[in-house]
Structures are given as C-alpha cells and as structure tokens.
Amino acid sequence: MSVASKLAYFGRTAIGSIVRSPFVHVIAVASLSLALVGFGVARIARAQLDALVDALGGEVELTVYLAEDAAPEQVAELEQALTQRTGGEVHRISPAEALGRLATQLGEDGKALTELPQNPLPWSLEVRLPKAARDAEALGELSRRTRALPFVTGVDYGEEALVRLGLIARALEVASLVVFSLVFLTAVIVVSATLQLAIFARREEIEIQKLVGATDRFVRVPFLLEGLLQGLLASGLALGALVGLVRWLESSAAGPLAFARLDGQLAVEWPRLAGELVGIGCALGLSGSFIAVRRFLRV
Amino acid sequence: MIQMFHVTKAYPGDPPVLVDINLDIDKGEFVFLTGPSGAGKSTLLKLMFLAERATRGQVLLAGRNVARLRESGIPFLRRNIGVVFQDFKLLPTRTVAENVGFTLDVLGTPRDEVRDRSLKMLRRVGLEHKADVSPLKLSGGEQQRVSLARALVNDPALLLADEPTGNLDPALTVEIMDLLTDVNARGTTIVVATHDATLIERYQKRTLRLEKGTVVADERGAKAARLMSQTA
Ligand SMILES: Nc1ncnc2c1ncn2[C@@H]1O[C@H](COP(=O)(O)OP(=O)(O)O)[C@@H](O)[C@H]1O
Ligand SMILES: [Mg+2]
C-alpha cells in the first residue's frame, strides 16, 4: 500500500516500456533534443547579441551642444541638471577643448583652425549614460527632453545604430517565438504519437490492470512518467550537445561566430540554460504524454 | 453476496440481452450459470464485476447497491472479485509469476511481497516450478491455473469464471474444477458460467439456467443434474 512501492512500480513500468520498444522512443527523444538544441542555440545567440549591444552601448554618449551665448554659470547649471536627470557622468567641453579635438582629428588640415581669429565652436556637454538608460526608446525620450532645455541647440547620440540593434533584437524575439512555438508543437505531437503507440502496445496489460482493480490514475501515471522521462533524457542530451558546440566555437579561433566572441568566451549562463532546457523538456514530454493519455487511453 | 432485482440489460439499438433477472447468491455458494450460447451468461457475469451496468433494476454486491457506486469506486470493488476467462488473458511478455503478481502490483504492494505471495499462490495451483517462464510455454490447463492464481492471489470474496474450461480437454477440465471446489471449500463464493452439461451433472451444484436473457430454472443438487439432461 505504500507510496514508495507504487512509485517504484511506475518507474519500472515506464522504463520497461522504453526498453521494450526503443525505436519509437529514440525518435521522440531525438525530436525533443533537436527542438531543445535549437532553443539553446537561439538562447546563446541572443546572449551574444545582448553582450554586443552592451559593448556598443559602452560607447553611447549623449552630446549636448549649447548656444554660443551660454554663460559658464548656465553651463554649470545645465551640467548639474543633466547629471541629476540621467544618473550618468557629465563632462563639460569648453570651446577651446572642442577646437583642439577637432584639430587633432583633422590632422594637417586642422592647422588652419588655429589661425581663426575667433573660436566658432560652442560649449558642449558629454553625457556617459548608465547601462539602464541605454535603450533606444529611453535615449530618444531623454534627447527630446534635453533639447527643450534653455541654451540647448542640439543633441547627438548613436541613434541610428542603437535603434537598428533594438529593432533587430525585437524582430529576433518575435521570430524565435513563432519558430519555437512551431518546433515545440511538433515535438509535442511526436511525443504524443509515440505514447499512442505505447498505449496501443500495452492495451492487453491495461485491460488486465482494470480487471484486477487498478484505478484510472494507476493506469495513466506510467505513461505520463514515460513522457516525462523522454523530456528529461532529451534535455540532458541537448545540454551535452550545446556544451560541445560552445566548446568547439570557443576553441576554434576562426570559427563562424568568431566575430561575436568578445574575449574568447561565449556569454552563456549554464545553470540558467540547463534549468530552462530541463523545464521545457519536461513540460514538452508531459504535454505530449498527457495529450496521448487523454485521447487514446480509454480506461 | 450477489442480489439482482428486476435487472434488464440492453445495448442501444438491439433487443435486450437480459430481461427482468432476479437472483440471490449467498456467501460461500458455488453456482453454475448455464444455458445456450447467446443466452446472456457472460453479460450477467459482467454485471457482477461491473464491466457493464444494468439498464434497469438493482444489483447488490455484498449488500451494496452498485447503481449508486461512482465510476471511481469500481476499482476498489474489483479488488475483492477474482475473474477468469476462457482465453486466460495472460500477458505473454511477462513471466508466470509476474502475471500472478499483477493483482498485487495494482494495490501498491512492495515488490518482494508480490513475489513471495505470487509464488505461494503458484504452489497452491501446482505451478511453482514454472514461475519464471513465459505463459506461452505452458499447456492450456496450466495457463488457466495461472489465470486462477492471478484471480485468487489477493484472496477475493467472490470468484467469477466465464467458461473456464471451454478450451480444455476433459482431464484438464477436472483439474480446474477440483481447484475451484477447493477454493470454494475455503469460503470463496464462486459463479461459473458454462454450457458444458457434463460438468453440471458431475458436480451437482446449484445451477441457474438462462435462456434468451431470462432465468428459466434455478435448481440444486441432483435436480440440477436432471435439469441438464432434460434440456441440454
Ligand atoms: N457489447 C454488446 N453489444 C451488443 N450486443 C451484445 C454485446 N455483448 C453481448 N451482446 C449480445 O448479447 C447476447 C448475449 O451475449 P452473451 O452474454 O455473451 O451470451 P453467452 O455468454 O450466454 O453466450 C448475444 O446475443 C450478444 O450478441
Ligand atoms: Mg459467453
């Protein structure tokens, strides 16, 4: 009557079923693994993209140009206001400093600049933004608000690149949502088909179980467990495959993803990824077996 | 043990299989259920182990009205009823002992205990030495003894047998019937459906005769034997 011996029985039954018809289970586990490897690759790629955005974002600065007639006190006031508003670091660039930089950038041609009777450049402020403020929307909003401040004549930031990266990231998210819905659905269908076969193969056993007084739950649980085991097995295999893949990419200097490697290491949070794979694998396996049990197990 | 009042069983679209059945089988009785093929013997047994429900009328098992029993309660009732069939219904992919142990597995019995009790039961039917072979390796009589062992291993109060000797030659038939008599002597109520007149003449038990879905005779002892020689 003990729960433990029932669980042991369920385990033996589910494993026995897998062992007795390995071929169909190999198909189910393979489909699940493929789906999970695909998911893992997308996850890892997404993490690389995020890292890339972060790295680019490190160079994102807001440059605020001020009116020529802005007095040093007013510049200081603005500097304070921007520091407060953005939570970032604000540097004051004097017209002389700006002219110097420009001259350096222009090299030989820049020499003419020093000949000018009067410095034509205005004061400007360079704002290094904290990480949290570095998405396209927040930046757009900030630049709009800054433009409205007194003495501000223009605001510049790496608008284009950032907006484009943001769009790419969002498009990838939507696309992967669609693709993985389909991939996962297919995996669930395959699992449920193998469970349907398992139920068919054990129809006599089920009949006898019912005859000798098995409850419906007792008949069903081993099949659900079978789906769960398929999911677990598949997530283990997928994780192994992904570890192998990442090792290979990291070790081959001219690998296809070499451009995205930041410092010879891919940004993979393994514990989290493993958790997701196991969670999704089990959920897919269970859903497949649940559907099969619901539709085909007439007890 | 089993009571039926005005029980009718009909499958949709067909004339009724059983019509206005009334019967009362006491605890510890041994009852033959006889009648020509198609008379409704198997259907009557199905009502007794709740594979089917009566269309009308009341069925009482051990004093409980099963009409009020929910679907989820059926398994628990079945654990007190052993059933054997003409075709044995053994699993060829399991050993003899595993087939017997099925009844105990369902109860969540620990594995070692399942094995012990299955072997003990197999000893009772004289098949302990075949515990670890496939039922496919056994003769028909031996297979029916395994199926009996499975039905009896949890010591049910009621044993139902549907043509248990239908596939067996006379010598093996006697073997099975002697086993059933022995089980009955230990207190288990037994109902055997059979159209084999020689069985009824030989064992002289209470006999219910079904024809076209109704009970046409209910006799005991020598009268039952005579009933068969008249109508069979
Ligand atoms: N599931 C069913 N659906 C329709 N008719 C059935 C069903 N089961 C049995 N019958 C009919 O009920 C009658 C009695 O069958 P059964 O109880 O098997 O008789 P017996 O066991 O005495 O030979 C037969 O005419 C048979 O065709
Ligand atoms: Mg019959």
Segment B200-223, tens digit of pLDDT: 888 889 999 999 999 988 888 777
pLDDT at position A81 is: 81
Q: What is the predicted ipTM?
A: 0.89
Quick check: is B61 in a domain? no
Q: Which domain holds residue B152?
A: 27-51+71-231
Quick check: is B2 in a domain? no
Q: Nearest-CA distance from A29 to chain B in Å?
A: 24
Q: Model confidence over A53-97: pLDDT tens digits? A: 666 655 557 788 888 777 778 888 888 888 887 777 788 888 888
Domain count along chain B: 1
Give me the CATH code for the A61-157 domain, please. Answer: 3.30.70.3040
Euclidean distance between CA atoms B80 and B74, whole angstroms? 10
Contact A9 B108 (CB under 8 A): yes
* The two three-digit tokens of residue B192, written as one number: 């055997």
Euclidean distance between CA atoms A163 and A281, whole angstroms? 35
Kindly state whether A9 is in contact with chain B, defined as any CB-CB distance less than 8 angstroms.
yes
**Quick one: chain A helix, strand, coil %, rounded to 5?**
75, 5, 20
pTM, two decimal places: 0.75
Residues of chain A with CATH 3.30.70.3040: 61-157
Quick check: is B19 in a domain? no
The alpha-carbon radius of gyration of chain B (Å, integer) is 18
DSSP structure string for A247-296: HHHHH-TT-TTGGG-SSS-----HHHHHHHHHHHHHHHHHHHHHHHHHHH
Q: Nearest-CA distance from B228 to chain A in Å?
A: 31
Euclidean distance between CA atoms B39 and B31, whole angstroms? 17
Q: Model confidence over A97-146: pLDDT tens digits? A: 888 877 777 777 777 777 777 777 788 888 877 766 666 677 777 778 88
Give the residue with greater pLDDT, B64 vs A234.
A234
Quick check: is B12 in a domain? no
- Decide: A63 and A155 in contact? Cβ < 8 Å: yes
Question: What CATH number does residue B223 fall under?
Answer: 3.40.50.300
Query: How does strand B158-162 pair with strand A89-93?
Result: unpaired
**Chain B contact set for A205 (CB, 8 A):** 91
Q: What percent of chain A has pLDDT over 90?
A: 29
Q: Is residue B232 very low, low, confident or very high in pLDDT (cuts 50, 70, 90)? A: very low
